[in-house]
Each structure stands twice: as structure tokens, then as C-alpha cells.
Structure 1
Amino acid sequence: MKIVDTYFRLRSGKGKSGWLMLPVLLLMVVGVYSLVHATGGIKYVYSHSMYIPVMLAGLCYGWSGGILIAVIAGIALGPLMPIEVVTGEPQKAANWLFRTGFFLFVGVLSGIASNAALAQVRKLQWMTRHDPATGLPNLTALLDALGAGDANPSGFARRALAVMSIRNAPELRTVFGVAVVEENMTQLAGRALGSLPPGARVFRVSSEQLAVLFEDPEGASADTLARVGAAFQLPFLYREVPLHLDVLVGYVVLADAGVAPQDYLRRAQSATFHAFETGSEIAHYQVQLHDRTRDSLAILSGLRIALERRELLLHYQPKVCLRTGTVRGVEALMRWNHRERGLIGPAVFIERAEQSTLIHALTAFALETALGQALQWQAQGIDLPVAVNISSRNLAHPDFARRILDTLARCGAAPRLLELEVTESSLMLDVARTTAELQLLARQGVRVAIDDFGTGYSSLAYVQRLPVSHLKIDRSFVSDLMSSPDSQHIVETVVSLARKIGLQTIAEGVEDAATYERLQSLGCDMAQGFYLARPMPADALPAWLEAFDSKISRIPA
């Protein structure tokens, strides 16, 4: 790199090496002249040494420098140099002019070669600091710009770094091709610069992310970025087609000169991820965001290891018929028997797993384990279907139904032993395909329940088109049943309408006798909650069932 820098200084004429090289070349010409003269004159071979300073001149100063030294060299070894020093016989003009022509040819040729090499080096240097597709400075340039603040720590308090990510970039590429993102990245950069204070710089740090470094003298980053966000709401154009870019912004204020440039970028990207998680457009970096992201990655990594080590297990919570008091089934709920943290509930890791492809492995484990357990209970005389929760990622898999049926066949379990619990929102992602998949399962005898009903679309109109048999009323309505008239009206309405279209209702989150009795009076079909039983290990269920049979008489009928 030092050689390249020196070469640039020579060619640009900047620095000491730029002007010192010319006297060196002239001294080399004088040196060759002296050598030729001292060895007897031009008739001897030492005159060819003059090509060295001529070539160096072309390399150092281009073809113009090569011409200058070639002319000087031609004169030095021409009229100023005899054929033979002893006799003093002068050269013929044609001879030394011919030689000078060769010097000129070599000087121009080396200069052209030097110019071509210089252009290529400049191109390579430009590419190391710029994105070829958009021409914007790249990640390397950003880190250098952030690192430049180390020389002036006070400058950090006046700057902010924002990362802008195009969330729907994969969708745009699928429809319009790769070029659409490159084109809109350029438009995005232009709008950002148009809305930011003078002196702001835009960098492309990844295929779908821009970073913006701007002055923040008054600590008004949020207001500044809000103006940028408003500019992003206007349509972007690609081949005269208006497009919407779903842009998420995360930012961090550069207030500490001791933080490495990479860490500032990581913080801004962490804030962008937080904006994605929370559904907001702009998010400010906070320390807890980094901790949360780090914990999320640690959990996902640990889950994969937990699957290999068989640290995951299922607990089962009974569902009781409100009319007869009999147990009608159980729901399988995953637990993680962590080696250091003990038993961890699903609220800690399931949500994170659902945001990754790891959810497929967890669901496969849950299905096989639950069906295997249902068969073991059957052998003990306990015939209960098991409900397994299915995520939106599972439903989106093109072979969802086939995988379920393959698992049933592999375990040797009857389809009636399995119930799938899916949320309203996951059902609505692709209604046509989801309906076809669930209908295939329903025809084979697998039952489907809509989980958390009432928190999503809450429309019984679409439920009629789906092959579902149960609606699970969300615990938020059940827990407020005794204190909120609105919750009571919602539960009553859902129960009534579900019965009219031939569906059964399950109330989850039943915590006390009063709620149990009220659900009975409203005509709800089944209940599930701590009042009846907490989730329990599989081997504890037979004893609980035996004890529950004797308790039925004490539960209001």
C-alpha cells in the first residue's frame, strides 16, 4: 500500500517525492552521458543505458515526462557526444535523430502504460470505497468516516448515525428483478440527503441498507429523521412504475469517542431490527436493545443444541367439558429443561424461534413427541386427543399438510388423536392455500382449532370457509369476564355464533370458580386453565385424571 501511495504522489506531483524525482532523472541522464563519454563514445554499447531514465520518466510522469527526458537524452547522446572520444569525430544528424526517435518511442510507450496502470489502480481504489451499482461510498468508507472522529472527540457529540433498511426488498426483487433495489437505493439516498442538514453523507453498507452520517448539534436526531421518514412515504419509481418502499430507520448518537466505528454501526443496525420487531418506522438505540438481540441469538443457538441434547420436553394441560366435567383432550406445551436456568416456559423462546426457520424443527419435535405420548396413554386406557400449536411459518411451508400426514403415518397414530391450533393471523396470510392444506388434513380426520380467537380478524365469516372445529376464546377476554361487561358480551357473542355454524368453543385462561361458572351459564363448551389444572409432565396425567374424576362432583355443573 505504501508503494501505491508513493506512486500516486509521483504522478500527482504532490509531496516531496513528486518534485524530487525530476532531478534524480536528470542526474541519471548526466550519469549515462558521463559513462558513455568515459568509455570512449557513442560507438560502444553503454549508450543503451539511457533507456533506463527514459522509461522511468514515462512511468513517473506519463507520456509527457517520457517525451521530455527522451529529448534531453537524445541531445545528450547526440550532438553533445562524439562517435569516438579519442578522435572527436561528430555523429551524423541522421544517426542521433534516429536514436532520439527510439527514446521518444520508449518514453511515450512507458508513459501510456503508466497512465493505463494508474487508471486501473484508481478504479480499484475507488471500488474499495464505493458501491459499484449505485456509486455511493461503501462500508469501508463509512468506518473510515466514523474513525475520523477519534481525532476530534468533541465532534462525536454533534453527529448521529442512522441505518435505513428496505424491509420489502426481497418482495421487490421477486417481482421486478435485482435492478429494482439498486435503482431505488439511489433514489433513497437522494431523498435522505434532501431532508438532512448540509454536510450529511450517505453510504451503502449492505444490499438492502443505507447508512447516513449527519451533524446533530442540537440533539434533534428524532425530528430530523422524522422528516426523512416522511420523504420516504412518497412513491418511488422504477421504469415509470410507482413503488412503495417499506423503510425502517434505526439511529444512534455518536456521543463517545471511545466507541469503535464497528460498534456504532452495530448499534444503529440493532435499532433498525428493533423497529422491525415493534412495527415502528424509526427507533433509537438503547443498551437494552443490544442485550435483547444478543439474548435472542443466544436462545436460538441454545435451542438448536437443546434439540440435539434432548433438553426439550412437553407438558400437557387438560381441556374439560363444561357440561359434563369430563376431560376432552390436552394441549401440548413446550418446555426447555435448560442446564443452567432450569425449566424455561415457551414465552421465553417460542416467539424468537417463530422468527427463524428453527420453528420447523421445534414443531416436528412437538408433533412426534405428542403423538407418541398419546399412543402411550392409549395403551394405558387413556384415549385423549393432543393439541399442538402450529406457527405461521409452519403453515407457509409448501409441504405442510404432507409433513403432518407423514408424521402420523410414521408414528402409527390415528388422525383423530391430533388437533392443530393455529392463530387467526397465520390463517389469513394466504387464505386460499391455507384452506386447501387444512381441508386435506380435515378429510383425513385431523381437527383444527383457531387459537387466540378475537385478537386478530375476529370474523366468523371467514371461519365458515375454513375446516375448523373449535374456536379458542383468547385468555384476555376470559380473564376479564367477571369485571368487564365488554368482555362478557364478546364471549357471549362468540359462543352463540359459533354454535349456530356448528363449531365448539374453548375458553383458555380459566383461573377461578366464578369464571368457570359464568362460562357454563354462557354455554361455552370447554374450559382450560389453572383452576382446572396447570400444565403437567406426561407421567403425571394418569394420576391427575384419577384424582379429577373424584373432584368432578365438587366442580359446579
Structure 2
Amino acid sequence: MIAKAVRSKVMARAAVIGLTLGVTALAALAGYSINGNVETTRHVRETGMQSDQWGALTLNVSIEYEMLGDYLRASSDVGRQPLLSAMGSATGNVNWLAENGDETDREEAADVADSYAAYTETLHELVAADGRGDLATVDALAQQANLAASTLRKTTIAQVARKRLDMDQYLLDVDERNNKALVAAGAIVAVDMMLLVLCAFVMIGHQRRIERQAQESRYRAGHDGLTGLANRSLLAEHVERTLKQAARQNAPVGLLLLDLNKFKEVNDTLGHHAGDLLLTEVASRLSSAVRESDIVARLGGDEFAVLLPSVGSAEGCLELARRVLDAVQGPAELDGVRVDISGSIGAAVYPLHSANSAELLQHADIAMYTAKRSRSGTAIYDAETDSHRSEQLGVIGELNRAIAEDELVLHYQPKVATGTGELVGVEALVRWQHPDRGLLPPSEFIPQAEDDEIIVALTDAVLEMALVQHRSWREAGAELPVAVNIAAGGLYDNAFPDRVAAALARHAVPGAMLTLEITETSIISDPAEVQAILDRLRDLGVKLSIDDFGTGYSSMAYLQTMPLTELKIDRRFIRSVHESASDEAIVRAILQLAAALNLKVVAEGVESAAALAVLETMGCSYAQGYHMSRPMPADEVLPWAAGRIRVPVGS
């Protein structure tokens, strides 16, 4: 009966709760004791400081009294000087007690202050009478000062004694409190020990139950909790075992990796519950679409895998991938909301594409990304594509080194006023001075960087270099605004505005001297998040420009709310604006839109005098292109400007 009671859930919970309460009580008592010790230390320190001030006050009054005697006995000014120096020396002690003492200290300090002021005034009158040679008055004032000093010393000595008595009583109270706390701590520890023993019995009683649960835990360790499919770990075991068997039987093995499209949008829009329903539905469709011998697994997130033990050939594997994708794709009802399920599948075959399980998983993953990028739905591993991917990774690795070793250089393309030719700013364009391949244009590395997190470091490096160059031009007398292109990743990085602010402050560059150029497509992906980032940049005084405007019409609806300063018309409409009526109409429409929104307009890609003349006639204020100047190194900008157009000085 007792053993059964010990093993019961009620007893287990009671023991745990009791032990928890006991430990909590012990911790509370420890906290109470620590807090009491802190309070005691503070009180002792404050009382000691107050007592010290009363003692110092007594000492200063005594010194003044002694100096008075020396003054009366002195026959020269040198002998009288100590009294003159000592007068008023206790004022600081009185003031400190009036501000920092307890209530009694402040009351007594107020009385002492009056007495000490009268005493000090008597000394001043005595010195004045001595200066007049009025010896009778000197004697009378000396007696009065002696009486006042004696009274002050008695008062201050009494206060020192009072503080000592207060301290003794306080310490007696603290000692009594500590004794009570010690008794309480002993009782709590005893109870806790009994509860600890009871918990030990309870744990032993539950050992068999834990053993029964171990088997279930092992199952859960190999299966996805949401869908019930095999997880990544169990799939890896199946792949290893299947490949060993295939090697003995010389039978190809296929692996499919499925990644869903727009799963994040479902989660963000409909909630995580809807996302879970979607994953469950996909798992069900996958399980129904494959053969009995195939193994379906969820790798995590919205990624699934299908192991095909006997696939026949690469063509057969790809055909199975298409059939699986057809089965998975299609509409689904999620809590009454209709969504379309779609995805991309990559396939790889052992031993045709891979020599082991790790390569099979890796190559199927590469094929899946190939299918996603090409939007073909399915793709099988291709060594040539993988080689291109490896080259891209090599570029990223070299680019990391290039940033660290300052191999990047900036060229600057002027932006001019169409009517006057006045230089109104420059756009910073990055180049890579490769140690082996020479000066590389951005097309050789920017696309790869934009597919990798290195684009953040690259953007920060370009911004830093542009601000350094702006400051150099300013020190040379040219206040030349500079524009820097910002990748889409910067507009979804909450830390980006802080880094811009730090860079501006580091180089003492006003925000108005910096323009950040962004693309339409980077805005329309998530307008609300981009709006918040742009608002913070605007608050820094930074100007914001839409680059290549006209290529992403769906973003026009956001022009009214985004804190933009400028539109840059895409070069495809500018190149033949003087020859094409349709291009001219588009440019006019953009100019009218910009005027309505109070935005400046820059025409990109101006390559002829005729195009520039038409733009000026149409009212386009600014232009940029090869007709004015190609991008040039920083040291050529001011000489070029001085020989052709005026560089504006000042903001």
C-alpha cells in the first residue's frame, strides 16, 4: 500500500511541489538575508560617515579655539595668520550634515549652524577690533568666543556619542534578526532533506514507466512530429542501407528532393496553423503518390525527400519526379481558404550521379535549386551545372578576400543638370582590381554576390569607400553629392540604417550628401518592411532614389507612401527617346508622375546630344550617360569637371 502510494502521480506531484516550495523558501530566506546584509552595510556606512562628520566638526572647532589662543599671544602678523586661515573651517561639515544626515542630524546641524555662524562672526569682530587697537573689545570678544567654542564642542561631542549609541542598538537588532533567520534556515533545510528523500523514492518508482517510454522516444527521434514521416536522421540511415544493398545487386537508387513554393507567404498570411495543415496535406499526397517500396521523409521546413530503391535509370527517375510533382501540386483547402500547392523537385541517381549517400543528397539538392531557378518544376542532377555552381562559390570566396584586402575600387559617373551642364553629383560604381584577371566590371561578380550573404559586406564596403571619397573632395573644396546602389538585401536588414548612420558619423558626412539607389523589384517583395527601413534612412537625411524606374510597374502604387526623393528612368526608354514616339510618351508620363509626387527625375543612359536636347525640352532636370562621361576613377573627376562644367561648392 505504501509502495503504491509512493508510485502514485499525486505523491510524485506533492513531493516535487513540496521540494520546489522548500527550495523557493530557502532561496527567499537567502535573498532576505542578503538584502538585510546589504541594508546593514549601507546603514553602518552612512552612520559612520555622519559620525565622522560630527567628529570632524568637533576637531575643527577645537582647532579654531586653539588658534584663537595663539592669536591672542602672538606679537606679529605671522603668528596671527593661523586663526585667520582656520576661521570657518567647520562650515563644510555643518553643510554636509544638513544635506546627508538623518532627521536628528539635520535638526541638530541647523542649530549648530546658527551657533557656529555667531561664533565665526565673533572671531571676525575680534580680528577687526585688534586691527583698530581696541584691546578692551578684544578681551571681551575673546571671552565670548571661548564660551561659544566650548558650547559647540559639547554639542558636537554629544552628537558623536548619540551616533555611537544608535549604532550599538542597530547592531543588536540586526544580530537578533540574524539569529531568527538562522533558526528558520535550519528548519527549511530539514524539511527539504525529507522531501528530497521522498523524491528519490518517487523517481525509483517511475523508472519502469520511463523504460516503457524509451521505445516511443526512439520512434519519435526518427520521425517528424507533424507529418509522421521519416525525418532527416532516419532518411540518412535508409539511404546508407539502401545504397549498400544496391551496390551488391547493381541496382540504381534515386533520390528526390521537394521544396514547396511560397510556403513562407502561407505562414505569414494565414498563420502557422495553416502552414502546418499545408505540410500535412503535402505529406499525405506524397505518401499516396509513391510506390510501396519508396520512403518519404520530411527534412525540415517545407523540404521533403523520396528515396526510390529501384529506379531503373535517370530518365525513369526524372519521370517519377514529374509524376510525384503532379500529384503534389494543385489546390487545397486550409481552414476554408483555398491555396494552390506547387513546388520544385530535384533528382539524383546512384551510382550514375553519386558515389555515396552524402553526394546523393548533395546532388539532389543542387538539382532542386536548378529546377527552382529555371522554374521547370523538375530537374535531374547535371555535372556541368554543378561545375558552374562551384565556380560561383569560388568567386564568392575570392570576393571575401578582395573585400578584406581592399581590392575593390570605385569609378564615378557624373550626373549633370540638362540645361546648364552643371555637375550635381556622381554615382559610385564598384570595380574589382583582381590580382590575376585585372580590372573586373561588376557584371563579373555582382550577380554572384546578390545570391549570397556577401552582398551585405560588399554594400557596406562600397558605402564606406564612397563616403571617404566624398570627404576627400570636400576637403579639396568640392561639395559633391554621391550616390550608392543598395542591393535588395539591405532593404530587409533592420541593422542597415544603423550602419549607414555610423558611416555618416564616422566620416562627418551630412545625410543630404548621400543618395541610396534602390530598385523597384526590391520594394514590391515586401512593401511594409521596406517602408520601415526607408523611413529610418530618410530620418538620417539620406536621399532615396528608385533606380531603373519603369521596369517594375507594379510598384507605382507605392510611390505615394515611400519616402523617395528621386526617380531614375531606365536607359531602355532614354536610348532612343529622340527617335521613338512610344519611348517619348513613356518618358513624358514618368515626368508628369514625378512632378505630381514632387520627385526629381534623372535620365539614365543618355548617349547622344539629340537625346539630351529632347530631355531638356521635356523638362527632365538631370541626366547621366556616356554622352556626358563614362565612369572614371576618383582622381579624374575634379579635373574633368574643372575643364567642362562647374562643380557646386557647398550644399
TM-score, structure 1 length as denominator?
0.66
Aligned pair partner of 1:463 in 556, 559, 583: 559
For structure 1, list consecutive stretches of 5 or more residues without a partner in the other structure: 1-115, 551-557
Displacement of 1:285 in angstroms is: 2.9
Residue 188 (structure 1) aligned with residue 285 (structure 2): no
Alpha carbons 1:131, 1:138 under 8 Å: kept: no
Counterparts of 1:350 and 1:183, CA distance in 2: 39
Matches within 5 A, 1:258-297: 259-297=355-393
Residue 395 (structure 1) aligned with residue 491 (structure 2): yes
Matches within 5 A, 1:76-115: none
Change over 3 Å in CA distance of 1:426–1:381 after alignment to 2: same
Residue 348 (structure 1) aligned with residue 444 (structure 2): yes
Change over 3 Å in CA distance of 1:175–1:515 after alignment to 2: closer
Cα deviation per residue 1:291-348 (whole Å; 9 max; x = unaligned)? Answer: 2322232233322222221222222111122221222111111222222332222223
Aligned pair partner of 1:431 in 512, 527, 533: 527
Alpha carbons 2:353, 2:381 under 8 Å: kept: no
Alpha carbons 1:321, 1:328 under 8 Å: kept: yes
Displacement of 1:129 in angstroms is: 7.1
Matched to 1:209, the amino acid is E
Aligned pair partner of 2:458 in 357, 362, 379: 362
Aligned-partner SS, 1:343: strand
Residue 228 (structure 1) aligned with residue 324 (structure 2): yes
Aligned pair partner of 1:336 in 417, 426, 432: 432
Aligned to 2:235: 138
Displacement of 1:130 in angstroms is: 6.1
Matched to 1:331, the amino acid is E
Counterparts of 2:590 and 2:353, CA distance in 1: 59
Aligned to 1:533: 629
Cα deviation per residue 1:244-285 (whole Å; 9 max; x = unaligned)? Answer: 655322224557287444333322211212233345533343
For structure 2, list consecutive stretches of 5 or more residues without a partner in the other structure: 1-209, 647-651
369-378 or 357-366: bigger deviation: 357-366
Aligned to 1:554: none
Matched to 2:468, the amino acid is G
Change over 3 Å in CA distance of 1:189–1:462 after alignment to 2: closer
Aligned-partner SS, 1:138: helix
Aligned to 1:26: none
Counterparts of 1:227 and 1:405, CA distance in 2: 53
Counterparts of 1:503 and 1:179, CA distance in 2: 43
Change over 3 Å in CA distance of 1:462–1:260 after alignment to 2: same
Alpha carbons 1:181, 1:208 under 8 Å: kept: no
Counterparts of 2:289 and 2:579, CA distance in 1: 50
Aligned-partner SS, 1:426: helix
Aligned-partner SS, 1:219: helix
Aligned to 1:149: 246
Counterparts of 1:362 and 1:151, CA distance in 2: 50
Change over 3 Å in CA distance of 1:416–1:235 after alignment to 2: same
Aligned pair partner of 2:589 in 483, 487, 493: 493
Alpha carbons 1:129, 1:139 under 8 Å: kept: no
Aligned to 1:309: 405
Aligned-partner SS, 2:315: coil
Residue 447 (structure 1) aligned with residue 571 (structure 2): no
Alpha carbons 1:130, 1:138 under 8 Å: kept: no
Counterparts of 2:269 and 2:538, CA distance in 1: 34
Counterparts of 1:169 and 1:462, CA distance in 2: 25
Residue 545 (structure 1) aligned with residue 648 (structure 2): no
Counterparts of 1:509 and 1:500, CA distance in 2: 24
Change over 3 Å in CA distance of 1:503–1:246 after alignment to 2: same
Counterparts of 2:220 and 2:555, CA distance in 1: 55
Aligned pair partner of 1:247 in 343, 347, 358: 343
Aligned-partner SS, 1:468: coil
Change over 3 Å in CA distance of 1:143–1:417 after alignment to 2: same
The number of residues matched between the two structures is 432
Aligned-partner SS, 2:553: coil
Aligned to 1:411: 507
476-485 or 539-548: bigger deviation: 476-485
Counterparts of 2:380 and 2:314, CA distance in 1: 16
Tell me the C-alpha RMSD between the 2 structures: 3.8
Change over 3 Å in CA distance of 1:331–1:278 after alignment to 2: farther
Change over 3 Å in CA distance of 1:492–1:339 after alignment to 2: same
Counterparts of 1:321 and 1:200, CA distance in 2: 68
Aligned pair partner of 1:161 in 230, 255, 275: 255
Counterparts of 2:589 and 2:353, CA distance in 1: 61
Aligned to 2:304: 210
255-264 or 335-344: bigger deviation: 255-264
Cα deviation per residue 1:394-448 (whole Å; 9 max; x = unaligned)? Answer: 1222244343223212210112210111111222344344334434443543211
Counterparts of 2:570 and 2:268, CA distance in 1: 37
Aligned-partner SS, 1:229: helix
Change over 3 Å in CA distance of 1:346–1:246 after alignment to 2: farther
Counterparts of 1:464 and 1:178, CA distance in 2: 32
Aligned-partner SS, 1:455: coil
Counterparts of 1:481 and 1:288, CA distance in 2: 42
Displacement of 1:505 in angstroms is: 1.7
Matched to 2:627, the amino acid is Y
Aligned-partner SS, 1:506: strand
Alpha carbons 1:454, 1:474 under 8 Å: kept: yes
Counterparts of 1:441 and 1:544, CA distance in 2: 32
Matched to 1:162, the amino acid is L
Counterparts of 1:460 and 1:128, CA distance in 2: 50
Counterparts of 1:417 and 1:194, CA distance in 2: 62
Counterparts of 1:198 and 1:363, CA distance in 2: 51
Aligned pair partner of 2:481 in 370, 385, 389: 385
Aligned-partner SS, 2:369: helix
Cα deviation per residue 1:472-531 (whole Å; 9 max; x = unaligned)? Answer: 112233345467544343223212332343222212223344443443444332222233
Cα deviation per residue 1:40-96 (whole Å; 9 max; x = unaligned)? Answer: xxxxxxxxxxxxxxxxxxxxxxxxxxxxxxxxxxxxxxxxxxxxxxxxxxxxxxxxx
Matched to 2:487, the amino acid is S
Counterparts of 1:258 and 1:391, CA distance in 2: 36
Counterparts of 2:371 and 2:345, CA distance in 1: 7
Alpha carbons 1:164, 1:209 under 8 Å: kept: yes
Matched to 2:235, the amino acid is N
Identity fraction in percent: 33
Displacement of 1:469 in angstroms is: 2.0
Matched to 2:236, the amino acid is L
Matches within 5 A, 1:52-91: none
344-353 or 419-428: bigger deviation: 344-353
Counterparts of 1:481 and 1:149, CA distance in 2: 65
Aligned pair partner of 1:504 in 568, 581, 600: 600
Alpha carbons 2:257, 2:303 under 8 Å: kept: yes
